[in-house]
Amino acid sequence: MTQQPRHEDERTRIREAIDRLLAGKAVASDGSLTVKALAAEASVHRMALMKRHSDLKNVFYERVRNETLQIPEPERKLRETVTRQRQTIKDQQAEIEELRRRITQLTLAAAVLTQREDTPLPPRPVPDNVISLRPVT
């Protein structure tokens, strides 16, 4: 029975902390609009905020998005990660295409070299100003 009032007290402190952070009047944190700052501002363990009060965390991010017209820090980091990964995928696809092209070229070169070994080349004419060390056979 003692846990329910404690959770309600936490929820009240979190709501007040949300209002202070969005107003720019942080007391117990650095004032950034992150869950870490919200937890510090509300004097609540961050995992308690993430697990027990995830609805308030979502309310906080929604208010950050709507009232400050900013993208919340985790969402911004996630977007940057997605952008980097998309670029990596694009680069890897280009590299795969280049490797496929090289494989085709090397396969053709190997076929040409193999065919040359099978057919003897006609003897080249020796220029008349060259003295060969061995007789031409």
Domain match, 44 and 56 both: yes
- Could you tell me which residue, 103 or 113, shows the higher pLDDT? 103
In this structure, the answer to whether residues 60 and 41 fall within a common structural domain is yes
**Is residue 83 over pLDDT 90?**
yes
1 in a domain, yes or no?
no
Of the listed ranges 95-99, 112-116, 121-125, the one predicted with least confidence: 121-125
Ranked by mean pLDDT, which of 5-19, 61-75, 121-135 comes out on top?
5-19
Predicted confidence at residue 1, as pLDDT, reads 43
Reference 60, options 11, 2, 121; nearest CA is: 11
pLDDT for residue 112 is more than 90: no
Q: Please tell me whether the overall predicted TM-score, pTM, comes out greater than 0.75 for this model.
A: no
Nearest by Cα to 29 from 17, 47, 19: 17
Number of structural domains (the chain) is: 2
Q: Which domain holds residue 90?
A: 74-109
Taking CA 124 as the corner, what is the angle to CA 120 and CA 126, rounded to the nearest 5 degrees?
A: 150
